[in-house]
Chain A
């Protein structure tokens, strides 16, 4: 019993839970373990997975970002509209990346420089940016003129769709950044103790602005891929994304109190979110119930985080 607890609440506990869940689902849910469904599952978590990469940094430094869903929709919209207007997809993509980073940068400056609570700041920008997306498109979906824009989502390398590759590459990149760079270590240090980090020579303000700007940039990447997949810029795309992403991160062992994060955990968290949704679809469970399940997953994630922290606390002298 005790050793079971140790495994479940330990570093690798989530991976174990995930593996068990995966096996159970594979056995009992028809059509789950097929190549087509697996690729579909991964496709469905691309947006969450990509945004979770930087949300992990945000949470690890004791911050919070609610504006990611709006930023994804907004930058997708910018990509489509600028591409249509200029006739150059490249220009559209650049504009989108710039727009996303700008939103993140503003978040970062307001939060780090003017010391406004991250929850409030991003709650505000979440609405402002969503408003921009709606204003720009007059509330309607904007179709893509140049069909080669679709290729971003439709193309494949070695039978795997490009968006999945992008997600995998970002997982690798941000895993490396977290574990093997000064940036990653400083992020965790700030989350562990911001004042001590500052006195130890970490430029806390600049770090936090960077983290938010990076978050905006990554949201733009997710927004572009999403727009390509749904073949249009949708002002109402990715609503509620922030909650799924934060759930996935917390489920993946990122501490809301900061200072603790692991890329593998976040990947598993993302996959768990994806599998839950995928299975409910395969079992023809009504979409309405999926909200309930998602909510429960978040609760379980937070409870697990709490249990894990107190288990870690008990281990202390």
Chain B
């Protein structure tokens, strides 16, 4: 008898259909895996389950009762709790206080802390969590904090617990503790929805499995033992390659950018690679694989531990974006809003912010030149705006990206362009325009690094792909050997698969 049921759930955001017609069900006391590539719709589905967002159509049924919740609070009351990667505990309170937070019992606001601690202690013992209820959460390890979150869910009488990538920041020993806890919850009849990229965990823990792809249901396996690793990967990737990429063969020159043994705080194991003149090198990996960290190190945005970066044989001095720009390397960052655009300032100023130093003698501006430059790149990159004086915040994502490209194209002597998530949040039409710009720049001899979470995009526009996984380069593949399955297998953080690379 199905305990948790999703019935034709659909959800659209402006410009993208995140989920369409998703239906599947989970038995009572089952651990159900949810897999899919970045952007396949897992997060959206979890958000709808948690009450954080509501579906456009479709419904969720728990234990035969159709749910109509409108908020996370409603979902709580219905017994659904989602445990996110970012944990939601108050660090300066104790474990017991966190578990009671929001519904402290007690007369006239007076808290009988001894009783509360005892109740928590009993509860923790009952579900087998070895954490001191009087310890401050800030003193606990990530693994222990996660246990506390799960304990909180149990105390709230959760009937459905969704875990979003729970092992991503756990050590293998902590993961083992988590797995045995999951087994005990399962024995109590709790339904666990388990989102993970790790196939070995899925096979070990899950009874049943759903695979999502591009917001659609790719496969539903009521019994995980009836399927195989290869089959699941095929289900995750098997999509049509459409020809919106417009890739053309280009002549490649000698090595332009050379990176050796690069490492930093967020990228502990050193990586090295080189990019040739006219080459577009794609970096693919799952979220958290270390691609953006690599880009920021390369550019000097973050502090470099070791390694060298050189352009045309000349070393680029580390830890200083300005030095990178002077050496001919520029970065279009992943997070346009926080790292890219300067809010409150005009398109013109956002374009001229770096290049104006070439035509501002003694630091005095040349407004005519700035205006001309802005007009030139607004026209060239087809930025849709009523005026160059427009505040950049008013532009759409695609147009903001074009302005940032314009900022760098207006620089002199750019040799290496690093572009992180070039088309995130950008509509299809603008996407092709941005690809065309990249091809044109590459044809002019620029070395281009494209970082993307979208596998079709990386495969569509790159001459070569480096696959990253858990901070390491897992594969380096030429265009003639591009294959979705190979790339995704390399990207999955799976101990067994890692042995084959």
A residues whose Cβ falls under 8 Å from a Cβ of B: 180-183, 185-186, 188-189, 191-193, 195-203, 255, 259-260, 316-317
Tell me whether A200 and B365 are in contact in the complex, defined as CB-CB below 8 angstroms, given that A193-B341, A316-B394 are known contacts: no
Q: Are A260 and B353 in contact, CB atoms less than 8 angstroms apart?
A: no
Tell me whether A317 and B394 are in contact in the complex, defined as CB-CB below 8 angstroms, given that A182-B365, A196-B338 are known contacts: yes
Tell me whether A195 and B338 are in contact in the complex, defined as CB-CB below 8 angstroms, given that A182-B365, A183-B363, A316-B394 are known contacts: yes
Q: Are B363 and A181 in contact, CB atoms less than 8 angstroms apart?
A: yes
Q: Are B342 and A192 in contact, CB atoms less than 8 angstroms apart?
A: yes
Q: Are A259 and B345 in contact, CB atoms less than 8 angstroms apart?
A: yes
Tell me whether A197 and B342 are in contact in the complex, defined as CB-CB below 8 angstroms, given that A189-B353, A202-B353, A203-B322 are known contacts: yes
Q: From A257, which residue of chain B is reached at the shortest CB distance?
A: B344
Q: Are B364 and A192 in contact, CB atoms less than 8 angstroms apart?
A: no
Sampled A-B contacts (5; CB under 8 Å):
A191-B344, A192-B342, A196-B339, A197-B353, A200-B354
Q: From B323, which residue of chain A is reached at the shortest CB distance?
A: A201
Tell me whether A189 and B365 are in contact in the complex, defined as CB-CB below 8 angstroms, given that A197-B353, A201-B322 are known contacts: no
Q: How far is the CB of B412 from chain A (nearest CB, A)?
A: 12
Q: Are A201 and B393 in contact, CB atoms less than 8 angstroms apart?
A: no
**CA of A192 to CA of B353, assembled, Å:** 12
Contacts of A191 in B (CB 8 A): 344
Contacts of A180 in B (CB 8 A): 364-365, 367
By Cβ-Cβ distance, the 4 closest A-B pairs, closest first, are: A259-B344, A192-B342, A192-B344, A201-B325
Contacts of A197 in B (CB 8 A): 342, 353
B333 at the interface (CB under 8 A from A): yes
20 A-B pairs besides A182-B365, A196-B333, A200-B407 with CB distance below 8 A are: A181-B360, A181-B363, A182-B364, A185-B353, A189-B349, A192-B342, A195-B338, A195-B339, A196-B341, A198-B301, A199-B301, A199-B333, A199-B339, A199-B340, A200-B321, A200-B354, A201-B354, A202-B322, A202-B354, A316-B393
Q: How far is the CB of A274 from chain B (nearest CB, A)?
A: 29
B69 at the interface (CB under 8 A from A): no
Contacts of A201 in B (CB 8 A): 321-322, 325, 353-354
Q: From B370, which residue of chain A is reached at the shortest CB distance?
A: A185
Contacts of B363 in A (CB 8 A): 181-183
Q: How far is the CB of A210 from chain B (nearest CB, A)?
A: 11
**CA of A202 to CA of B350, assembled, Å:** 12
Contacts of A317 in B (CB 8 A): 394
Most chain A Cβ neighbours within 10 Å, of B338, B343, B393: B343
Q: Is the interface of A mostly helix, strand, loop or mixed?
A: helix
Q: How far is the CB of B342 from chain A (nearest CB, A)?
A: 4
Contacts of A189 in B (CB 8 A): 342, 345, 349, 353
B345 contact from A192, A195, A202, A255, Cβ within 8 A: A192
Contacts of B338 in A (CB 8 A): 193, 195-196
Q: Are A196 and B340 in contact, CB atoms less than 8 angstroms apart?
A: yes
Q: How far is the CB of B340 from chain A (nearest CB, A)?
A: 5
B357 at the interface (CB under 8 A from A): yes
**CA of A260 to CA of B345, assembled, Å:** 9
A185 contact from B340, B341, B365, B394, Cβ within 8 A: B365
Q: From B345, which residue of chain A is reached at the shortest CB distance?
A: A192
B62 at the interface (CB under 8 A from A): no
**CA of A200 to CA of B367, assembled, Å:** 19
Q: From B395, which residue of chain A is reached at the shortest CB distance?
A: A317
Contacts of B342 in A (CB 8 A): 189, 192-193, 196-197, 200, 259
Q: From B338, which residue of chain A is reached at the shortest CB distance?
A: A195
Q: How far is the CB of A176 from chain B (nearest CB, A)?
A: 9
B76 at the interface (CB under 8 A from A): no
B356 at the interface (CB under 8 A from A): yes
Tell me whether A182 and B357 are in contact in the complex, defined as CB-CB below 8 angstroms, given that A193-B342, A196-B341, A201-B321 are known contacts: yes
Q: Are B394 and A182 in contact, CB atoms less than 8 angstroms apart?
A: no
Contacts of A181 in B (CB 8 A): 360, 363-365
Q: How far is the CB of A182 from chain B (nearest CB, A)?
A: 4
Q: From B349, which residue of chain A is reached at the shortest CB distance?
A: A185
User: How many A-B pairs fall under 8 Å by CB?
Assistant: 79
Q: How far is the CB of B311 from chain A (nearest CB, A)?
A: 16
Per-position 1/0 for B363-398, Cβ under 8 A of A: 111010000000000000000000000010110000
Q: How far is the CB of B130 from chain A (nearest CB, A)?
A: 39
**CA of A167 to CA of B195, assembled, Å:** 65
Q: From A186, which residue of chain B is reached at the shortest CB distance?
A: B353
B417 at the interface (CB under 8 A from A): no
B286 at the interface (CB under 8 A from A): no
Q: How far is the CB of A259 from chain B (nearest CB, A)?
A: 4
* Docked complex: B449-491 residues within 8 A CB-CB of A: none
**CA of A201 to CA of B345, assembled, Å:** 16
Contacts of A185 in B (CB 8 A): 349, 352-353, 356, 365
Contacts of B331 in A (CB 8 A): 199
B299 at the interface (CB under 8 A from A): yes
**CA of A259 to CA of B341, assembled, Å:** 12
**CA of A200 to CA of B410, assembled, Å:** 12
**CA of A186 to CA of B360, assembled, Å:** 13
Q: Are B343 and A193 in contact, CB atoms less than 8 angstroms apart?
A: yes
Q: How far is the CB of B177 from chain A (nearest CB, A)?
A: 37
Contacts of B341 in A (CB 8 A): 193, 196
**CA of A317 to CA of B386, assembled, Å:** 13
**CA of A197 to CA of B322, assembled, Å:** 10
**CA of A191 to CA of B356, assembled, Å:** 18
**CA of A181 to CA of B360, assembled, Å:** 8
Q: Are B345 and A199 in contact, CB atoms less than 8 angstroms apart?
A: no
**CA of A91 to CA of B207, assembled, Å:** 85
Q: How far is the CB of A306 from chain B (nearest CB, A)?
A: 15
**CA of A104 to CA of B469, assembled, Å:** 47
Contacts of B367 in A (CB 8 A): 180
Q: How far is the CB of A216 from chain B (nearest CB, A)?
A: 20
Q: From B320, which residue of chain A is reached at the shortest CB distance?
A: A203
B343 contact from A200, A202, A259, Cβ within 8 A: A259
**CA of A239 to CA of B352, assembled, Å:** 41
**CA of A260 to CA of B343, assembled, Å:** 10
**CA of A201 to CA of B326, assembled, Å:** 9
Contacts of B353 in A (CB 8 A): 185-186, 189, 197, 200-202
Q: How far is the CB of B326 from chain A (nearest CB, A)?
A: 8
**CA of A196 to CA of B407, assembled, Å:** 12
Q: How far is the CB of A180 from chain B (nearest CB, A)?
A: 5
Most chain B Cβ neighbours within 10 Å, of A193, A198, A317: A193
Q: From B326, which residue of chain A is reached at the shortest CB distance?
A: A201
Q: How far is the CB of A225 from chain B (nearest CB, A)?
A: 27
**CA of A172 to CA of B363, assembled, Å:** 17
Contacts of B299 in A (CB 8 A): 199
Q: Are B344 and A260 in contact, CB atoms less than 8 angstroms apart?
A: yes
Q: How far is the CB of B344 from chain A (nearest CB, A)?
A: 4
Contacts of A182 in B (CB 8 A): 356-357, 360, 363-365
**CA of A317 to CA of B390, assembled, Å:** 12
Q: How far is the CB of B329 from chain A (nearest CB, A)?
A: 11
A198 contact from B321, B349, B356, Cβ within 8 A: B321
Q: Are A192 and B394 in contact, CB atoms less than 8 angstroms apart?
A: no
Q: How far is the CB of A195 from chain B (nearest CB, A)?
A: 5
Most chain B Cβ neighbours within 10 Å, of A182, A186, A255: A182
Q: How far is the CB of A253 from chain B (nearest CB, A)?
A: 13
Q: How far is the CB of A309 from chain B (nearest CB, A)?
A: 10
Q: How far is the CB of A214 from chain B (nearest CB, A)?
A: 13
Q: How far is the CB of B345 from chain A (nearest CB, A)?
A: 5
**CA of A317 to CA of B299, assembled, Å:** 33
